A and B are shown apart, each in its own frame.
Chain A
């Protein structure tokens, strides 16, 4: 089992090998894809990537939090969070299925 960390650069390298593009173009396009994903989520839109999973933006209400060190109560402002729900295909592949 490897513990390597894959970055944008590794994705660009994989794209370079799969698609007939220059390394530079592969890198730019990987960046553009990721930026497009960010833009969609920024709008609050759900992102559905079949076989991979769904990203959705959820709204959290205001609640009372507490500083764990001092015990002082502080309000936590309403905010939006991004949640990722993996597809069964991804989960299965992480647990030994070759599909």
Chain B
């Protein structure tokens, strides 16, 4: 399922609501998660999972094609941990 299919699904469940409001709703949810992670925060959605930030130290990498050593700077990466409830549901 893609984001637009998700919006369509919500729209068919809610004929009373405007499709562009539902689009705004879905975008706001993911934008809020993105902003929080960009600020180094954590997002915890009970029943679904939690998003957090992990730090990756700088390291020496190598271009696999040319073999030239390059330094890879430290960076932050998003991490998602599946919630207990969803993990169980996936394995049902």
Contact = CB atoms under 8 A, between A and B. Distances in A.
Nearest to A25: B17
Contact of B38 (A14, A48, A94): A94
Contacts, number: 146
Interface string B28-60: 111111101111111111111100010000000
A62 interface: no
B91 interface: yes
A67 interface: no
Interface residues of B, number: 48
B72 interface: no
Interface of B: 1-3, 6, 9-10, 13-14, 21-22, 24-26, 28-34, 36-49, 53, 75-78, 80, 82, 85-87, 89-92
Interface of A: 1-8, 10-11, 14-15, 18-21, 26, 29-30, 32-38, 40-42, 44-53, 55, 57, 79-84, 86, 90-91, 93-95
23 contacts: A4-B42, A6-B44, A11-B32, A14-B28, A14-B31, A29-B10, A29-B14, A30-B25, A30-B29, A33-B10, A38-B48, A38-B86, A40-B6, A41-B89, A49-B2, A51-B34, A52-B30, A55-B80, A79-B91, A81-B87, A82-B80, A82-B87, A82-B90
